[in-house]
Amino acid sequence: MHELKISPKVKDALEKRKPIVALESTVIAHGLPYPHNIETAKALEQICTENSVVPATIGVLKGEIIVGMTEEEISHMLEDDPLKIGTREIPYVVALKKSAATTVSATMRIAKMAGIDVFATGGIGGVHVGDWDVSQDITEMSKTDMIVVSAGCKSILDVKKTIEFMETFQILVLGYRTDKFPIFYEGLSSYKLDHVVEKPEEIAKIYLAKTELGIEGTILVANPIPEEHAISESEVEVYIKQALKECEEKGITGKQVTPYLLSRVAQLSNYKTLRANIELLKNNVRLACQIAKEITTLKLQG
């Protein structure tokens, strides 16, 4: 039997109905360079702990799905050169006993299996520019009951189409103190959001109404990066153009383009994008903690 390995702390929190925030492992394995990845993973867990919330970092170690990875388990995962997986690949790595970092879709699915309601990430996957390259995240969010706190999506995606897909597939997007859809470390896009909330409590109430009514799917909380950490679109554009030019020169294509872009843009910006990425992650975890606590309170009040 394939069961989740739930850490004692997370198990205890589930039993005692304490607030929990799920965290993904892809940001550690593939999103940030060493040693920033390990440091950020620790920092995000610490934010949870300081807020009396139990963090649950999710990943797969040699086929075992872990909810609440220890530092040691994260290190082991990284040593295994883990795959980067979405929901559809979970059975593949479980059955073949591979190690894997979980992206938004896989993390959400596993969090849901464990009984966790809130998940904090950096940005969601969406609709890529081009003919049809649409992330599993969209499909997962259309099905799985969860609150996902993110800074929207990266501007290298087709942001407008990503918002449209979320409408079609019934993913409720709530702007947190903003009526513009956020675009990761670049702050806010020009795309209008129809549903704005001001308080974590509102998000918790909307989520509980959703689950009580049996309406499936995700509430995406669109939480912009704090203004002081945002980088202007025009600045990022210069770096992206330069990096794209290099891709062409070096013959980098397909799935290699995005990682190359991200790492080169970090270098070219003198690591301003990296720092912004870390700041928005922290900002999302802080909000996720507040929401998780509101849910706990509301559930207790019954």
- Is 88 a residue that touches a second copy (CB under 8 A)? yes
* Interface segment toward Mn ion; rule CB under 5 A; list 94-102, 129-137, 210-218, 257-265: 129-137
Give the helix ranges, DSSP H, for 59-216.
71-79, 90-95, 104-114, 136-143, 159-168, 200-213
Helical ranges in the chain per DSSP H: 8-15, 26, 36-50, 71-79, 90-95, 104-114, 136-143, 159-168, 200-213, 233-250, 257-268, 272-301
> Which window, 38-46, 68-76, 127-135, 209-217, contacts Mn ion (CB under 5 A)?
127-135
Q: Of 98, 143, 154, 282, which residue is the catalytic one?
A: 154
> Please, which of residues 192-221 interact with a second copy by CB under 8 A?
195, 202, 205-210, 212-215, 217, 219
Residue 168 contact, options a second copy, Mn ion, none, Cβ 5-8 Å cut-off depending on partner type:
a second copy
Pairing of strands 100-102, 54-61: antiparallel
| Nearest by Cα to 116 from 197, 219, 17, 209 | 17
Q: Which of residues 20-59 bind a second copy (CB under 8 A)?
A: none
Using CB under 5 A as the binding rule, whether residue 194 contacts Mn ion is answered as no
Q: Give the number of C-alpha atoms closer than 13 A to the C-alpha of residue 16, restricted to the C-beta side.
A: 11
> CA-to-CA distance for 1 and 94, rounded, in angstroms?
11
Choose from Mn ion, a second copy, none: what does 238 bind? Cβ within 5-8 Å by kind.
none
Cβ neighbour number for residue 139 with a 10 Å cutoff: 16
Tell me whether residue 46 is annotated as binding: no
Q: Scan residues 130-159 and list those touching Mn ion (CB under 5 A).
A: 133
Cα–Cα distance for residue pair 80/135, rounded to 1 Å: 25
- DSSP label of 225: P
117 is in an annotated binding site: no
Residue pointed to by tokens 């995606």: 157
Based on CB atoms, which residue is closest to Mn ion, 140 or 294?
140
**98 known member of a binding site:** no
Q: Which is nearer to a second copy, 87 or 99 (CB)?
A: 87
- Cβ-based nearer residue to a second copy, 212 or 227: 212
- Per the annotation, the verdict on 24 as an active-site residue is yes
Give the residues lining the site for a second copy (CB under 8 A): 1-2, 86-92, 94-96, 105, 109, 113, 127, 131-136, 138-140, 142, 160-161, 164-165, 167-172, 174, 195, 202, 205-210, 212-215, 217, 219
Give the residues lining the site for Mn ion (CB under 5 A): 133
Task: Indicate which residues carry an active-site annotation.
Answer: 24, 154
